[in-house]
Amino acid sequence: MSSQQPNLSTTKSFEEAAIAKPDQNPLPRAILRPNNYFLLDGEWKFELDTDDRGLRESWFLGHNYAHTANWPGSVEEHLAQAKGQIQEGPAWHDKVVVWYEREFPRPQRGEKNENTMFQITFGACGYETRVWLNGRLLTSVEGEDVHYGEYTSFSYELNEEHLLPVNWLTVRIADTMDAEIPRGKQESHVYKRGGIWYQTYTGAVRSVWMETVERNRLRSRIGVQSIIEDSLVRFTFTSRIHDPGMYTLRLQVFEQDSDSPEPFATSDYLLKLSEGQKLQNVVMQIPNAQLWSPEHPKLYRLVAQLIDANGYTAEIQGHFGMRKIEARGRHIYLNNQEIYIDGILYQPGTATYEEMRRHMYAMKELGCNLVRVHIAGVDPRIYNLADEIGLLLWVEVPSPHSSTQKSRENHYAELLRMLALIETNPSVIIWSLYNEDWGAQDIATNPETRQYIMDTFHYMKIRYPQFLVVDNDGWQHISYEGKLKSDMLTAHVYTPEVDRWCEVLDQITEGQMEGVAAFPLVVGDQYFYRGQTPVIISEWGGFGFSDYGGPNDLEERADRIRVFKEEMRKRPIAGDVYTQATNIEDERNGLIDPHTGELSVPAGLLNSRK
């Protein structure tokens, strides 16, 4: 999708400006809404608010902006583009406040429809975002005057009475180096840029659009839990209601590639809905359901309709797959069949959506059946692509960089925001809460930190049984009363020496918990490994990155990877994740060109399932 979009023409109706086709998903979201939309991407006015004066001086009521910037983009690149014109100091401070503004004409509709309203959605923006329309502060659908978070979408319903012939949309974005907010591998006060820590990339990072939505509708989020033995699916929907009353929820399931107008499964549910938002779980039978797997990524198309007492229908569309994931004994089972994880670590960084698409196909070509999206939020269409081409996904909450009560509150809020939008995709099988105790550095000594992680693990297992959950990936997993609070025992092992590699693999699989990684594998109560949990070497290799050692020559690197993979397959290990897919800043250990998606090693190199 081009980030340059023309202004809405005053000679065209809102319907004529842009109509979403049912077979396309042009917006950065996982669910389709067959409605009218208009991208607000393109050139915006832009200003750095060095002294944080904008709120006091009411810039949202009128301000002479000195610069322009292209949305989507990032605060960092917009400041760099304005370099030489901004005299207030360096491009980045401990706290950065920026303002954006653009005009757009009042959208026109052919005939008034009292069942619909206008909504503005930000694909992702943050970390702290305020939005005004014509000088009026907007409140998000979630009831926020200030939206926090920078990895997921958020929306504002518009009061049509407040729209003018020409409207102005004003956005204030604030971000800091605060170590208590979810940052992933972006630098902070604790971890400075260099090595494995990267430049911040925040602000207006995904598209923003205006669309028509129904007053009474299903939100663009669907939870899916499969009970494959009984061909049942449990769906979770979120209703958004302005007019309380009786509604019918109608679900229709179609073959994904079929042109047939008739669903092969359908079911109605009568609901009494009150004003506001409500979660609703329903169960549906899918006759003769085929299962989703990397080898056979079978998807079904879902049409969900909310029908009011007058017969007016609000609709969303998505897809789902029937699959079951389980960790049992030393193995992982997909659809009750033992599988081995041939994974790769993926850090998209500042890659565009099209570049990420190329990376996904390239990782599949490498022979991977799993991609570990490393503590980053990505365009949700990437999850859909993984569903389509058959790639398992391991996703992670972008971690804070300090362990405090506030950082845990921020971490939990980010987790819930991400979960709400990543419940649909069958490709997503694993979630990590933390990685290498970043943001939980006191995990071995602070009972409060361990209690938070255990409580969150238990919540995930009850509320989201369709996922495997890792408490703290790499080492320092939590044991409570001798039971691991993780579905897998994972270890990060970096050594370029084959002999040492074999020694560490033997020690881990035999149950040695210390001396095999940078920190003990388990903390808390005593833990005795006897093969009751799958072992995953969730980071290894890194060949080409100076801190990890190993060969830089591509042919020698490929040979070393083959040897290391062969040694893992000789032992009772359930999977591994090679580090990593592409180069990013100082980490020059990728196997895929970050721009073209071309492989620098032979295709199929990481496939040990042959």
Of the candidates 278, 297, 321, which is a domain's last residue?
Answer: 321
Question: Collapsing DSSP states into helix, strand and coil, what is residue 453?
Answer: helix
Lowest mean pLDDT among 77-86, 292-301, 366-375, 511-520: 77-86
* The predicted structure's pLDDT at residue 8: 31
DSSP for residue 228:
G
Of the candidates 160, 188, 214, which is a domain's last residue?
Answer: 214
> Structural domain tally of the chain?
3
Token readout for 188 is 């902070």
Selected residue with higher pLDDT from 84 and 589:
589
Which residues have C-beta within 8 Å of that of residue 512, sequence separation ≥ 6? Answer: none
Do residue 80 and residue 195 come from a single domain? yes
**pLDDT tens digits, one per residue of 247-291:** 999 999 999 887 788 999 999 999 999 999 999 999 999 999 999
Do residue 435 and residue 552 come from a single domain? yes
- CA–CA separation, 485 and 58 (whole Å): 50
Asked if the structure places residue 2 within a domain, the reply is no
In 3D space, the residue among 167, 164, 185, 183 whose CA is nearest the CA of residue 175 turns out to be 183
Query: Do residues 272 and 211 make contact, with C-beta atoms less than 8 angstroms apart?
Result: no
Name the CA dihedral angle for 400, 405, 410, 412, rounded to a multiple of 10 degrees: 100
Asked if the structure places residue 16 within a domain, the reply is no
In 3D space, the residue among 593, 203, 235, 177 whose CA is nearest the CA of residue 401 turns out to be 177
- Of the pLDDT bands very low, low, confident and very high (cuts 50, 70, 90), residue 111 is low
Average pLDDT, the chain: 92
- CA–CA separation, 60 and 132 (whole Å): 7
How many Cα atoms within 13 Å fall on the side-chain side of residue 116? Answer: 21
- CA–CA separation, 139 and 116 (whole Å): 18
| For residues 411-420, average pLDDT | 97
Question: Is the pLDDT assigned to residue 18 strictly greater than 80?
Answer: no
In 3D space, the residue among 342, 339, 349, 343 whose CA is nearest the CA of residue 375 turns out to be 349
3-state helix, strand, coil in the chain (%, to 5): 15, 35, 45
Do residue 340 and residue 294 come from a single domain? no
Amino acid, res. 392: L
What is the domain extent for residue 237? 217-321
- CA–CA separation, 457 and 470 (whole Å): 8
Rg of the Cα trace of the chain? 25
Do residue 284 and residue 430 come from a single domain? no
Query: Do residues 471 and 486 make contact, with C-beta atoms less than 8 angstroms apart?
Result: yes
Query: Do residues 88 and 196 make contact, with C-beta atoms less than 8 angstroms apart?
Result: no
- Of the pLDDT bands very low, low, confident and very high (cuts 50, 70, 90), residue 13 is very low
| For residues 63-82, average pLDDT | 93
Query: Do residues 200 and 78 make contact, with C-beta atoms less than 8 angstroms apart?
Result: no
Q: Which CATH number fits the domain that encloses residue 143?
A: 2.60.120.260
Selected residue with higher pLDDT from 202 and 410:
410
Question: Collapsing DSSP states into helix, strand and coil, what is residue 383?
Answer: helix
- CA–CA separation, 141 and 160 (whole Å): 16
Asked if the structure places residue 447 within a domain, the reply is yes
Give me the DSSP letters along 265-301: EEEEEEEEE-SEEEEEEEEEE-TTPPBB-SSSB--EE
* The predicted structure's pLDDT at residue 261: 87
In 3D space, the residue among 285, 335, 353 whose CA is nearest the CA of residue 466 turns out to be 335
Lowest mean pLDDT among 69-83, 282-296, 433-447: 69-83
**pLDDT tens digits, one per residue of 146-196:** 999 999 999 999 999 999 999 999 999 999 999 999 999 999 999 999 999
- CA–CA separation, 545 and 162 (whole Å): 55
Question: Is the pLDDT assigned to residue 303 strictly greater than 50?
Answer: yes
User: Backbone dihedral region of 482: left (phi > 0), alpha (psi from -120 to 50 degrees) or beta?
Assistant: left
Query: Do residues 188 and 398 make contact, with C-beta atoms less than 8 angstroms apart?
Result: no
Whether the bond into 72 is cis, omega within 30 of 0: yes
**pLDDT tens digits, one per residue of 99-108:** 999 999 998 8
Q: Which CATH number fits the domain that encloses residue 257?
A: 2.60.40.10
Question: Is the pLDDT assigned to residue 489 strictly greater than 90?
Answer: yes
Question: Is the pLDDT assigned to residue 377 strictly greater than 50?
Answer: yes
**pLDDT tens digits, one per residue of 194-250:** 999 998 889 999 999 999 999 999 999 999 999 999 999 999 999 999 999 999 999
Do residue 505 and residue 371 come from a single domain? yes
Do residue 388 and residue 525 come from a single domain? yes
Asked if the structure places residue 549 within a domain, the reply is yes
Do residue 309 and residue 342 come from a single domain? no
pTM: 0.94
Asked if the structure places residue 505 within a domain, the reply is yes
Query: Do residues 377 and 398 make contact, with C-beta atoms less than 8 angstroms apart?
Result: yes
* The predicted structure's pLDDT at residue 199: 86
